[in-house]
Structure 1
Amino acid sequence: MSPRHSAAEARHTRERIIERSVDLASVEGLEGLTIGRLALDLGISKSGLLGHFGTKEALQLAALERAAVVFNREVWRPAADATPGLPRLRGVCAAWISYLEREVFPGGCLFVSSTFEYDGRGGPVRALLQRQFRAWELRLTTEVRRAVTTGELPPDTDAAQLVFELYGVMMSLNHAIQLYGAGRAPALARAAVARLLAT
């Protein structure tokens, strides 16, 4: 086997591990990512799997980083070309609801479940989650402030409060879908967003 072919095989195996890790973590939590379970699911040896990541924590971090790529693709990109401010904010919220409704991750939003799992802990996994949430909050806050500047939202709009409430809608939607099935929850979420973003 040539070095180039070997490197390509290694990249392919690493991708398979990360993809399976994200799906599994969304259902069973980041702590549910065990080397033995993943090796069995993927038909590779434990030592072969460890060779790609070294530690369970490194695997958890890789899963969160991949989840962020998926979230960006599903939620931000569909609205990225919309006019900055309220149109883009509405587009992001519509895509966010769709992402949860379609259950892009089999166990619901990995970030929501991981937050519950790690909110009382320290360490690199929690630190990465905090950075990811802050980056997303900043994007939303920027769009709210643009909407205020352009007069699309009232001048006394508290951007932090509005972003907090939008987060609350999405977390409630994720909870409802995962616990009860979609039902009326997506429609309720859309109504809540429409009320929050009314001009």
Structure 2
Amino acid sequence: MVQPARDLPPGIGRLRRLCTGWLAYSRDRVFPGSCFFYSATAEYDAREGKVHDMLAGARTNWLAYVEQTALEARQAGEIAEGTDVSQLAFELVALLEMANAESVLHTKALATACTRNSSKPAAGSGRRPVRPARRPDDPGGYRRTH
């Protein structure tokens, strides 16, 4: 799922391909039941030991890679300059993981629908820069709060 995204130039297209690749990975059930890392994390997240540490490291690396990919899209001018790429990466990963969890719990239909719909351009995609969302209590734009 990562290599097809790496084959694209830095930008929103690479970030989009990374997300659609992850959804396809979830949909295709490479491992029985679910994503191996998602299942193992659910089993070991509250435990101590080498397995926990390996999983935590893998998740940290994945989030860092998504964040770097979003940063490159911002540097390419395809995401608004003021966008908090750390928060964007966190939210993208959270949405991908929730799509996976829901598709496992409620059948493959959700993952299939997500992958099918992901081929349509999202609002703000394409040549126009993505604008950060604004919260009513934050006139300066969308910022991380922690």
TM-score over 0.5 for the pair: yes
TM-score bracket relative to the smaller structure: 0.7 to 0.9
Q: 1:116 to 1:196 in 2, by over 3 A?
A: farther
Q: 1:83 to 1:169 in 2, by over 3 A?
A: same
Greater relative contact order structure (CA < 8 Å, 6+ sep):
2
Q: Give, in angstroms, the shift of residue 145 of structure 1.
A: 0.7
Is contact 1:86–1:152 with CA below 8 Å preserved after alignment? yes
1:116-131 paired onto structure 2 within 5 Å? 116-131=42-57
Which has a greater percent of helix?
A: 1
Is contact 2:15–2:69 with CA below 8 Å preserved after alignment? yes
Structure 1 unmatched ranges of 5 or more: 1-74
CA RMSD of aligned residues (A): 2.1
Corresponding residue of 1:110? 36
Corresponding residue of 2:136? none
Corresponding residue of 1:170? 96
- Secondary structure of the equivalent of 2:31? coil
Structure 2 unmatched ranges of 5 or more: 131-146
C-alpha distance in 2, partners of 1:139/1:77? 12
Between the two proteins, the alignment pairs up a number of residues equal to 124
Letter in 2 for 1:108: S
Identical amino acids, percent of aligned pairs: 33
- Secondary structure of the equivalent of 2:20? helix
Is contact 2:23–2:111 with CA below 8 Å preserved after alignment? no
- Secondary structure of the equivalent of 2:109? coil
Is contact 1:162–1:196 with CA below 8 Å preserved after alignment? no
Q: Give, in angstroms, the shift of residue 188 of structure 1.
A: 3.9
TM-score calculated relative to the size of structure 2? 0.75
Q: Are 2:11 and 1:85 equivalent residues in the alignment? A: yes
C-alpha distance in 2, partners of 1:127/1:117? 13
